[in-house]
C-alpha cells in the first residue's frame, strides 16, 4: 500500500517518525509530508504560508526512517493531504496515517484537530485513513510512549485496508508502555481536557486547555481512554443528512 504519513505537530515530531517506521515495518511504501511548523487545531484547513499561492516544500531526511522520502511543507495538514491526493508527492496514497499526535483527540472536538482533519481530507479524496493520538495529558513526561501508540495502530493497519475506500478511524492510546485491549468507542461530547476561552480586559481573548470536572459518559472514547484503554472510533466525513427535514 502506498502510504502518506502526516501530522499537525510538525515535521520534527518524534511521533511522526515513529508512525512512519511502523508503516515501513508493515511492508508499506511510505512517503512523509508534514507541516514545516506546528499546525495544531487547524482542522481540515487549506491554508499555506506562501506568496502568490505558492507553498514551499523542502526535502528532509528523517534519521529514524533513512531512505524514506520526507518533505517539510509550509501548509496545514489538510492542504498537504489534498496535495498528496493530486500527486504532488508521487502517486496518490492508498492510505493516510496521521500522527502520532502529542495529546488525545477525543469527543466531538475532533472537529478542530489538524490530525483528524488530515484523515477526513483523505477520506473525501478516496483514501482510507487512520488518525493516531497519544494521551500525554496537560503535564506530559519527558519520554512519551510513541512506540506503544504505533504498536496499537499497527494492529489496525490490515483492518483499515479491508474497509471501503474513504473509511476513517480515530485511534487514541494511553501514554503507557503497554496498552490494554483496544476498545471501540463512541464520541463523547467533550474529553477530559477541553478548550476554554477566557475574555481579556482589552476585548481580546485567550484560548487555553483545562481539565473538565464531572463524570465522563460510559462507553465514550473519553471515558475509556481515561480508564486506561486505547480506543478506536469510526468517523464519517462530510455528507448530507437525509433525516433532517426542511
Read off the pLDDT of residues 13-70 as tens digits, 9 standing for 90 and up: 999 999 999 999 999 999 999 999 988 888 888 877 666 678 999 999 999 999 999 9
Q: How confident is the model at residue 241 (pLDDT cuts 50, 70, 90)?
A: confident
- pLDDT value at position 202? 75
Q: What is the DSSP string of 75-127?
A: B-HHHHHHHHHTTTTSSPPSEEEEEEEES---SGGGGG-HHHHHHHHHHHTT-
Q: For residue range 67-109, what is the model confidence (pLDDT) as tens digits?
A: 999 999 999 999 999 999 999 999 999 999 999 999 999 999 8
CA distance 156 to 63: 25
Pick the CATH number of 2-190+217-235 from 2.40.50.1020, 3.40.1210.10, 3.40.630.10, 2.60.120.1270: 3.40.1210.10
pLDDT attached to residue 207: 63
Model confidence, pTM: 0.91
Most confident segment among 11-15, 49-53, 187-191, 217-221: 11-15
CA distance 15 to 23: 13
Amino acid at each position: 500500500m502506498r502510504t502518506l504519513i502526516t501530522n499537525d505537530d510538525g515535521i520534527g515530531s518524534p511521533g511522526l517518525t515513529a508512525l512512519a517506521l511502523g508503516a515501513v515495518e508493515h511492508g508499506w511504501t511510505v512517503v512523509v509530508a508534514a507541516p514545516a511548523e506546528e499546525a495544531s487545531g487547524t482542522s481540515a484547513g487549506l491554508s499555506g504560508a506562501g506568496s502568490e499561492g505558492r507553498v514551499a516544500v523542502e526535502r528532509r531526511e528523517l534519521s529514524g526512517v533513512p531512505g524514506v522520502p520526507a518533505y517539510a511543507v509550509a501548509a496545514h495538514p489538510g492542504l498537504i493531504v489534498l496535495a498528496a491526493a493530486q500527486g504532488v508527492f508521487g502517486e496518490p496514497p492508498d492510505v493516510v496515517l496521521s500522527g502520532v499526535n502529542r495529546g488525545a483527540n477525543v469527543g466531538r472536538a475532533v472537529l478542530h484537530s489538524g490530525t483528524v482533519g488530515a484523515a477526513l481530507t483523505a477520506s473525501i479524496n478516496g483514501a482510507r485513513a487512520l488518525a493516531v493520538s497519544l494521551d500525554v495529558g496537560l503535564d506530559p513526561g519527558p519520554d512519551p510512549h510513541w512506540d506503544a501508540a504505533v504498536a496499537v495502530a499497527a494492529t489496525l493497519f490490515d483492518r483499515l485496508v479491508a474497509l471501503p475506500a474513504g473509511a476513517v478511524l480515530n485511534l487514541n492510546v494511553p501514554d503507557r508502555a503497554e496498552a490494554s485491549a483496544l476498545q471501540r468507542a463512541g464520541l463523547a461530547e467533550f474529553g477530559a481536557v477541553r478548550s476554554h476561552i477566557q475574555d481579556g480586559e482589552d476585548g481580546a481573548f485567550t484560548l487555553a486547555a483545562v481539565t473538565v470536572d464531572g463524570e465522563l459518559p460510559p462507553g465514550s472514547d473519553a471515558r475509556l481512554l481515561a480508564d486506561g484503554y486505547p480506543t478506536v472510533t469510526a468517523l464519517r466525513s462530510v455528507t448530507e443528512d437525509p433525516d433532517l427535514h426542511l
